[in-house]
Amino acid sequence: MEIQNLTKEIRDRSLERMKKRKPEELSASWFQDDLLYSGKGKSIFIIIPTPGCSWALGDSGGCTMCSYISDCTLEPTDADTIFQLFKNEFKKYLDEIKESEEKNEKIAIKLFASGSFLNPKEVPKEARDNILKYLATNKAITEIIVESRPEYVKKEILGEIFEIIGDKLFEIAIGLESSNDETREEKINKGFSREDFEKAINTIKSLKNSHNIKSKAYILVKPILLSEKEAINEAIETAKYCEKIGVDRVSFTPATIHKGTVIEQMWRLGAYQPPWIWSVVKIINTVRKEIAIPSFMDTSGFGSRRGPYNCKKCNKELKHTIINSNLNQNMVEYENCDCMEEWIANTKIANLNKSQIKIKHLPLI
């Protein structure tokens, strides 16, 4: 497949240039307001060091927009080191946890493995068990969120997890990116089908009677080779599809340009621009009106050269309004801005002239 060859080539070059980093340099964390299943509360985000996403390290080269691999060790890290680093990060928030407990505020924890938390090759079972055992004893943490590709969502692994965490809520976030097969396969190089995704969602649904289990889908806003208009429509369609098949929440990730990716290559050649923030507003407002499940809009990279962009006058304010709307699940209210006209003209381009952009003709830079 053209897209796989190109992704693999770009990935290999970027891996060659990458400086190997120790696990200690890669763990990170932050704490922020969030909307939990139980209502408004706080979330602790912890990045745990892993060798890297198996899909990105394999023959496929991974997904065209993803550079998580550059935050990974590229070699196995022993379970004990992973657990110790997780604990070091977690302990930074003991004061905040106490404060939230006093206010009767709920806390969620999001464990990011820069790939699949449920894949034992990325997060060894021993590390996974120890992290979950540690969290199981903390009453303030009521919701645990992890990310995984669908092929690792298996009943036996989930059974092992619930044996440890009991009745805490456990959410698995899966990067579906798009419900459109051509987009997901040919433009994102995701490597799984809608059937694979639905199988994972059905496994989660089958456990709902006995466990507090939830699912979330990530939806990529504006993959490569889509016009602004196509990108808006596909993101909305994907959210509707997710609701229809029983996903509990959706989270949109507007594309940003990360180093060592196919998307960066196309951006450098002038063949790709991240979405307008107006497109993002259009998506979230339509989705909040037309579907009932909670929807979130990631605002990372907004207003930067490599991220979603409108104009200097309105970038910042819209970003804050979107962050607030995530917490309240309301519509994004905005004032018109001069840049809107240019956006409207942009969305009138219904289809890219695809004959001009041929993956196989992209020079490697």
What torsion do the CA atoms of 75, 64, 177, 320 make, to the nearest 10 degrees?
90
Q: Which stretch binds ligand SF4 (CB under 6 A): 62-70, 163-171, 222-230, 272-280?
A: 62-70
- What is the pattern of x (binds ligand SF4, CB under 6 A) and - over residues 97-116? ------------------x-
Q: Say which entry of ligand SF4, Zn ion, none residue 55 contacts (CB below 5 to 8 A, set by partner kind).
A: ligand SF4
200 binds ligand SF4 (CB under 6 A): no
Residues whose CB falls within 8 Å of the CB of residue 350, separated by 6 or more in sequence, listed in order: 227, 229, 230
Q: How far is the CB of 20 from Zn ion (least distance, A)?
A: 42
Identify the CA nearest to 123 among candidates 29, 214, 48.
48
Name which of 55 and 296 has its Cβ closer to ligand SF4: 55
Q: Which stretch binds ligand SF4 (CB under 6 A): 49-57, 79-87, 193-201, 290-298?
A: 49-57
**Angle separating helix axes 277-290 and 340-347, nearest 10 degrees:** 70
- Residue with the two structure tokens 């289809």: 351
Q: How far is the CB of 296 from ligand SF4 (least distance, A)?
A: 17
Q: Which stretch binds ligand SF4 (CB under 6 A): 26-34, 63-71, 151-159, 273-281?
A: 63-71
56 binds ligand SF4 (CB under 6 A): yes
CA angle 103–109–112, rounded 5-degree value: 155
Q: Say which entry of ligand SF4, Zn ion, none residue 149 contacts (CB below 5 to 8 A, set by partner kind).
A: ligand SF4
217 binds ligand SF4 (CB under 6 A): no
In whole angstroms, give the CA distance from residue 183 to residue 219. Answer: 12
Q: How far is the CB of 56 from ligand SF4 (least distance, A)?
A: 4
CB atoms closer than 10 angstroms to residue 101: 14
Give the footprint of Zn ion on this chain (CB under 5 A). Answer: 310-311, 313-314, 337, 339
Q: How far is the CB of 8 from ligand SF4 (least distance, A)?
A: 12
Q: Say which entry of ligand SF4, Zn ion, none residue 153 contacts (CB below 5 to 8 A, set by partner kind).
A: none
Residues whose CB falls within 8 Å of the CB of residue 290, separated by 6 or more in sequence, listed in order: 236, 240
In whole angstroms, give the CA distance from residue 62 to residue 292. Answer: 32
Alpha-carbon distance values, 43 to 32, 38, 144 (Å)? 6, 12, 10
In whole angstroms, give the CA distance from residue 78 to residue 107. Answer: 28
Name which of 220 and 332 has its Cβ closer to ligand SF4: 220
Q: Say which entry of ligand SF4, Zn ion, none residue 201 contacts (CB below 5 to 8 A, set by partner kind).
A: none
In whole angstroms, give the CA distance from residue 16 to residue 247. Answer: 38
173 binds ligand SF4 (CB under 6 A): no
175 binds ligand SF4 (CB under 6 A): yes
